[in-house]
Structure 1
Amino acid sequence: MKRLLIGLLLVFLFNEGFGQTKKPNIVLIVVDDMGYSDLGSYGSEIHTPNLDRLASQGLRLKEFYNNAICAPTRASILTGQDQHQAGIGYFDLNLGLPEYQGYLNKKSVTLAEVLRQNGYSTLMSGKWHVGNDSTAWPNQRGFEKFYGVIGGGANYFDAKPMPLRGVPYPVTLVENNVRLHPADNSYYFTDEIGNHALKYLDEQNKTNRPFFLYLAFNAPHWPLQALPEDIAKYKGRYDIGWDSLRKERLERQVKLGIRDPRQTVAVRDAEVPNWESLTYDEKQLWKAKMEVFAAMVDRMDQNVGKLLAKLKELKKDDNTLIVFISDNGAPAENVAHGIRAGRNTGPVGTAGSFEAQGKNWSFVSNSPLRSFKGGLYEGGMSSPFIAWFPGKIKPNTQARGTVHLIDLAPTFYELAGAEYPKTFQGTAINPLPGRSLKGLFLKGEELQRPEPLFWELWGNRAIRKGKWKLVSAFPANKWELYDIENDRGETKNLAAENPQIVKSLSLEYLEWANKNNVVLDFNLINPRSALEIKMN
């Protein structure tokens, strides 16, 4: 009996952290509408020392794919499922079909539900955007603690409704199912998201459990609103205009090794004018927009720094995996929703401003990639990816990929030793389609993905298999073929030269679409009138 008790004690101590089976803490940081090149470690001039530190001490991916827009991306993040299988094939609108119901379904379990069942504290601060009904809020989908907005966006200085094409868009700010009504100009939302994450970590530290923290910043999503001290850092930096700035970023990407100089860069978007063609007043407005955008990214990075300091203070930094991504590429809107509604009541950057970054600067943000948020060219669906795990991930490493959102869940579950259920609360659960990145993280093994990746969004379609990418833009619906290994900028359509490849890949797409109940004719469900009153 004495030997048995000693043995049980040793097993307990081993599992509690005195051996190598100690469960890691997991932090997933997601930012909103930030382009591929907007971090210093991906070529930017924006001051992001904390994320750059994670990159230099960890892993960066050159090819990481999201679902090109907010809600579908978050559906795949949270469930590890294709967006349609999770119930958000279109957006957070119910289009009357299970795959397009607009909120997470019950056959797709969340990261929080799985990890909580496997002994983790589950914490979230930030943007939800995968279900407006209270039955689908974070606390009802596995998160023990939650602070943030339920819908697609918010002001940064108040919780008043947003002007969206003349229609008020409600902002539902919540903490643990309780609606909050903070005074106007009493906070800055990015800081509040960061501060609540720190508060939850302090509270969680009283337990002996590992934690999963989903930190979903709203920044730098429209509207462009930032703190004066952050804007001041960038005064005059963007006087050079987008033409010169893009050239700077492209050159810096080569020096960083994040871009192969032999690969193509995207052709200038036809709607982006030459900087020198603008009037003096136009230049003043446009450079102010980018100053504010940079300030928003900067403040987000400052909050990442506070998170790192808290982990060190709690002595948990040496056993915490941090993964950082953006939900989609920089957006395409040239005219802010608020301006259309006639609601601008202050200069760009202030609480009364509803300006947007616009294609002109978004084209720079997405360098060297083509197109914008919402499209399935590389600029809409590619994100920076940083993974940091001290002593586990080799410092300052880079890999090509090709990795997708659906690979996060199996990675986290394998590293956590978490069992993925076949049923949950009486419902049969979808199997996970993604692949674990454990070998890539811990051993530097290149991810092997013999099967293709597929996308459908708003009638836009894409498939990536090996070096090939087949893509079509709605409503033209004409397949284009690109060799992504050599033509990341998607500058040369090879479809006419390779009809058999187009035919083969398109048949694979059709098989995938039928298997996942993807509507093949988007016109049958296209809710254009509803889109006019929704936030993305």
Structure 2
Amino acid sequence: MKIRFSLFTLFFIHCAFLDSHAVEKPNILVVMVDDLGFSDIGCYGGEIETPNLDRLARNGLRFSQFYNTAKCHSSRISLLTGRYAFQAGNVELSRAVTSAEVLGSVGYFTAMTGKWHLKEQPTDFGFQRYWGHLSGACNYYRGDKTFRLNGEPWKVPTEGFYTTVANVDYALRFLDDARQTQKPWYLYIAFNAPHAPLQPLEADFKKYLGRYEAGWDTIRAARLKKQNELKLFGKELTPSPRPDHIPAWDALPKERQVFENRRMTAIAALIDRVDQELGRLLTNLEKEGELDNTLILFVSDNGACPYDRKSPNIDGNPYDPDTTWSDSTGWAWARNSPFRYYKQNQFEGGISTPAIVHWPKGLKAKKGSITHQPAHLIDVLPTLADLTGATLPSSWPGRELEPVSGISLLPVLKGKTIKQRPPIHLLFGEDRGLRDGDWKLVSFRSHPWELYNMAGDRTELDDLAGKYPERVDAMAKQWFQMAEEVLKAPAKSRKPVDPEASPKLHPEWTDFTKPLSETGKRGDT
């Protein structure tokens, strides 16, 4: 009888251990914002008030070399699947599984709010709860016809609606659902802010009035100074100069200065509101006792956007739902300090994102530290699988899976260094690049290859292509090989680079020789 009792006792102790171990799995919160500049938030050099993100950075880990794909939908694909966009089957996700599917398979409650920008719906790819818009952009006050709630059409209210606030309203609702299940939860919030149209709340806009009258030259210089004070890069960098296609602020006509000042004021207000809403979410996690064992990752899908599309009602107020201002190439340059270029381009200004990890219970890196470990959105899924004990599947019903291209960053979160990683492939449209160790090969809109050594030239000022032609040839060969064999990129995306650079700029960049609001063609988001 005693033996039987002991065996039963051991059995129940073992079960209790397993249950407690399961409970110890961290909750996971992934936050992606839209078109954020590298230096926009306080802990990356910005003057915009982001106390909640700054707090996460102060008590967590920041990456100085974390890459996205420089574009909206492709970054979402890489974040969710651990694969490059073409490799995953592009927006159809036909050759990949998502983080929601992987984490759901090991008992996680999965939920998403915000921008989807892929085919089908999140509920078709493992998310048990979803509220948001399927489109790439929407009116902040009026939404659009693509809003869904758990797979069903959702009608946007005619009054009292604002997307950034609603994203967190529904996130909190879904967390209540998750807690009822007593399962660990995975929540993905994809804010559409600060993507155009630039439509802040009135109070947020008025908070920043007058702060940008000094112009982009002054603001960028101040941000660089703060970045150096933060020791963001481990050493002081030589900033990229203002490009020829952007005039000095003092050379702008007064009318344009007034509008550009108000335009940046609207952008700052949009970012401030994201931080306020994240603060509301963090307060809830603290109240529920969940903050310590919640891994939080904050990233952007690309650098600041230079697309200066139509801006109706220039003389109006941006908090009027009929006012739909677009972005500014001049401010995009300032916001991506200290780097070159913008959203879509594979230079550092297009692909570098602020990346903050906060996880008090599991993070072993020193609080407030900065890692210079190169990383990419393709690393997110392998990392989440690693820390939750999930298996990355090699097969999935109805899909022919390609292998995951990312690596686990868990060693970095534990305070270690990954000495060597596979090359990072960079591609969107005609813009392309390859990061291999300290070397980076890059092409602007299929112009001739440029070569930079990131260890000493992160701002890509000293093109070494002429000095090391053999390295250029070897890395170009590797780029094309990966594009074909790993990404499965279509032939049109694998065309040779042009023999000479074209003087033509992107048709949607601000043309400062034209009147206000006279811009290039309407493009994709």
Same-fold status (TM-score > 0.5): yes
Do structure 1's residue 143 and structure 2's residue 117 form an aligned pair?
A: no
Unaligned 5+ runs, structure 2: 496-506, 508-519
Deviation at residue 282 of structure 1 after TM alignment: 1.8
Residue 12 (structure 1) aligned to one of 15, 20, 24: 15
Question: CA-to-partner distance for each residue in 1:97-139, whole Å, 9 max, x for gaps?
Answer: xxxxx4211x3001011111110000000110111xxxx2101
SS of alignment partner, residue 84 of structure 1: coil
Do structure 1's residue 499 and structure 2's residue 469 form an aligned pair?
A: yes
Deviation at residue 275 of structure 1 after TM alignment: 1.1
Residue 391 (structure 1) aligned to one of 335, 341, 361: 361
Partner of 1:519: 490
Partner of 1:201: 175
Question: CA-to-partner distance for each residue in 1:438-471, whole Å, 9 max, x for gaps?
Answer: 11102x1112334211122102210001111001
Contact kept, 8 Å, 1:153 with 1:535, in 2: the verdict is: no
Contact kept, 8 Å, 1:265 with 1:488, in 2: the verdict is: no
Deviation at residue 523 of structure 1 after TM alignment: 9.1
- Residue 430 of structure 2 aligns with an amino acid whose one-letter code is G
Deviation at residue 142 of structure 1 after TM alignment: 0.4
Question: CA-to-partner distance for each residue in 1:203-229, whole Å, 9 max, x for gaps?
Answer: 211111100000111100001001111
Residues 272-291 of structure 1: pairs in structure 2 closer than 5 A:
272-291=246-265
Residue 153 (structure 1) aligned to one of 137, 151, 162: 137
- Residue 437 of structure 2 aligns with an amino acid whose one-letter code is G
Residue 441 (structure 1) aligned to one of 392, 409, 413: 413
Contact kept, 8 Å, 1:345 with 1:352, in 2: the verdict is: no
TM-score of the two chains, using structure 1 as the length reference: 0.89
Which range is displaced more, 345-354 or 46-55?
A: 345-354
Question: CA-to-partner distance for each residue in 1:144-166, whole Å, 9 max, x for gaps?
Answer: 00000101011100024xxxxxx
Do structure 1's residue 470 and structure 2's residue 441 form an aligned pair?
A: yes
Partner of 1:253: 227
Question: CA-to-partner distance for each residue in 1:220-250, whole Å, 9 max, x for gaps?
Answer: 0001001111112111111111111111000
Contact kept, 8 Å, 1:459 with 1:521, in 2: the verdict is: no
SS of alignment partner, residue 148 of structure 1: strand
Partner of 1:425: 397
TM-score of the two chains, using structure 2 as the length reference: 0.90
SS of alignment partner, residue 332 of structure 1: coil
SS of alignment partner, residue 387 of structure 1: strand
Deviation at residue 428 of structure 1 after TM alignment: 4.5
Partner of 1:164: none
Residues 342-491 of structure 1: pairs in structure 2 closer than 5 A:
346-393=316-363, 394-425=366-397, 427-442=399-414, 444-476=415-447, 478-491=448-461
- Residue 147 of structure 1 aligns with an amino acid whose one-letter code is W
Change (3 A) 1:176 1:351: same
SS of alignment partner, residue 289 of structure 1: helix
Do structure 1's residue 125 and structure 2's residue 105 form an aligned pair?
A: no
CA distance in 2 between partners of 1:332 and 1:41 (Å): 23
Deviation at residue 87 of structure 1 after TM alignment: 1.6
CA distance in 2 between partners of 1:85 and 1:113 (Å): 18
CA distance in 2 between partners of 1:425 and 1:238 (Å): 53
CA distance in 2 between partners of 1:462 and 1:247 (Å): 28
Contact kept, 8 Å, 1:264 with 1:490, in 2: the verdict is: no
How many percent of aligned residue pairs carry the same amino acid? 36
Deviation at residue 484 of structure 1 after TM alignment: 1.4
Partner of 1:85: 87
CA distance in 1 between partners of 2:330 and 2:112 (Å): 33
Do structure 1's residue 45 and structure 2's residue 47 form an aligned pair?
A: yes
Partner of 1:96: none
CA distance in 1 between partners of 2:480 and 2:471 (Å): 14
Deviation at residue 278 of structure 1 after TM alignment: 2.1
Question: CA-to-partner distance for each residue in 1:7-44, whole Å, 9 max, x for gaps?
Answer: 33323332333x59721111100000001001100000
CA distance in 2 between partners of 1:315 and 1:8 (Å): 30
- Residue 496 of structure 1 aligns with an amino acid whose one-letter code is G
Change (3 A) 1:522 1:441: closer
Partner of 1:3: 6
Which range is displaced more, 262-271 or 386-395?
A: 262-271
CA distance in 2 between partners of 1:245 and 1:182 (Å): 37
Unaligned 5+ runs, structure 1: 89-101, 161-170
Change (3 A) 1:8 1:303: farther
- Residue 420 of structure 1 aligns with an amino acid whose one-letter code is L
Contact kept, 8 Å, 2:205 with 2:266, in 1: the verdict is: yes
Question: CA-to-partner distance for each residue in 1:36-55, whole Å, 9 max, x for gaps?
Answer: 00110000000000000000
Residue 32 (structure 1) aligned to one of 18, 31, 34: 34
Partner of 1:331: 305
